[in-house]
């Protein structure tokens, strides 16, 4: 097992995470944050189609099935796809904090191969918050939610405003997303977060 780098170790004055009072209820499906997201969107034919559910506290669970489109070595999931699954699950935690945040750093350990056809069971938790920095951890298991660990990650997310995407995304996709009433509702809900 690799030790977590100093950049992923919360400082001594970091605070425990607090679930936002308006966060989705435990067990609730979080849904895609954008239709064409490779990780969670239904509009990506070869995407992960990862579905995350709110857990207790500041945790989420998720699953995705490794298809032949996700392989690297013959019959095995590509490591980058597994890292994406961890990143997407970790990013889903932001629904529970009611913040918009992007990945600042992701460190992944690959513990065992994940064959095509496997359902990867993921669980993630926020461990600490320090200003705009959100520290979190995740594991991916095969054979069931209590099965052996196949992958794990530690991450640092950085809270941003919706302008981050408006200023840096391609205008046509930003316009399409902002024309979607559900996207506008979600963005406004996050923008009014105290």
- By CB neighbour count within 10 A (0-12 exposed, 13-18 middle, 19+ buried), where does 66 fall? buried
**pLDDT of 165:** 56
Report the first-to-last Cα separation within the chain, whole angstroms.
Answer: 38
pLDDT along the chain (194 residues), means of 10: 77 95 94 80 88 96 95 96 97 93 96 97 98 97 97 96 61 63 48 42
Q: Which of 101, 79, 80 is nearest to 155 (CA)?
A: 101
Task: Judge contact between 40 and 88, C-beta under 8 A.
Answer: yes
How far is C-alpha 131 from the geometric centre of its chain's CA atoms?
20
Q: Which pair of structure tokens corresponds to residue 192? A: 């009014």
Q: What pLDDT is stored for residue 189 in this prediction? A: 46
Quote the pLDDT of residue 1.
46
Residues 6+ apart with CB under 8 A from 21: none
pLDDT at 142: 97
- Contact status, residue 175 vs residue 119, Cβ threshold 8 Å: no
Measured CA distances, 2 to 46, 67, 111 (Å): 31, 28, 10
């Amino acid at each position: 097992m690799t030790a977590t780098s100093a950049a992923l170790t919360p400082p001594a004055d970091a605070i425990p995470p607090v679930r936002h009072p308006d966060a989705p209820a435990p067990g609730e499906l979080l849904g895609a944050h954008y239709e064409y997201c490779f990780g969670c969107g239904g509009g990506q034919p070869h995407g992960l189609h990862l579905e995350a559910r709110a857990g207790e506290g500041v945790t989420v669970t998720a699953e995705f099935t490794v298809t032949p489109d996700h392989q690297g070595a013959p019959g095995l999931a590509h490591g980058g796809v597994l890292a994406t699954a961890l990143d997407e699950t970790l990013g889903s935690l932001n629904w529970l904090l009611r913040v918009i945040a992007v990945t600042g750093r992701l460190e992944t350990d690959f513990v065992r191969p994940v064959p095509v056809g496997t359902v990867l069971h993921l669980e993630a938790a926020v461990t600490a918050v320090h200003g705009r920095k959100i520290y979190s951890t995740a594991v991916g298991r095969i054979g069931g939610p209590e099965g052996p660990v196949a992958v794990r990650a530690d991450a640092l997310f950085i809270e941003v405003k919706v302008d981050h995407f408006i200023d840096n995304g391609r205008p046509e996709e930003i316009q399409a997303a902002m024309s979607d009433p559900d996207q506008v509702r979600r963005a406004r809900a996050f923008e009014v977060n105290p």
